[in-house]
Amino acid sequence: MTISQDPARLSEMAGKAREAGTQALQSAKDAGTQALETADELASAPIKVAEDTPAKLYLAAVGGSIAASLMLFLAGRKQASLFVGLWAPTILNLALVSKLLRPSHESLAAAGEEPAQPRRNRGRRR
């Protein structure tokens, strides 16, 4: 007697295959959810650093860039002075982007609001 002729054995094998497939699918979902959470944490780290950087530090970096550029220009290193001088608008843009994307805790506190907490789990659970 072959497997196809024994309905009970065929049904048992189909059940085992279905269970193995369900376990594999759940394992893949868990791995995908964990990978998304890890990627979210890695991607949010630079944003958190930019958010936690005080505005005075950005302005000090801009002033330092301009001063360094002027010193390099006076020393006759015009290419280097242009390179360093271009840091100032870049640093200012970083400051603006960090303020636009994430409002500061000070401005939220002044408005009487709580800062939003990042969502940890973005995967759907059933």
- Mean per-residue pLDDT, 47-53: 73
State whether 74 and 109 are in the same domain.
yes
Instruction: Give the domain extent around 42.
Output: 7-46
Sequential DSSP letters for 32-73: HHHHHHHHHHHHHHHHHHHHHS-HHHHHHHHHHHHHHHHHHH
State whether 106 and 67 are in the same domain.
yes
DSSP structure class, residue 125: -
pTM of the full structure: 0.47
pLDDT, residue 8, reads 77
Average pLDDT of the residues of the chain: 78
Whether 124 is covered by a domain: the verdict is no
State whether 42 and 57 are in the same domain.
no
Query: Does the pLDDT of residue 1 top 60, yes or no?
Result: no
> How much of the chain, in percent, has pLDDT values that exceed 90?
25
Measure the N-to-C terminal CA separation of the chain; round to a whole number of Å.
Answer: 42
pLDDT, residue 102, reads 66
State whether 18 and 65 are in the same domain.
no
State whether 98 and 63 are in the same domain.
yes
Domain count, the chain: 2
State whether 63 and 42 are in the same domain.
no
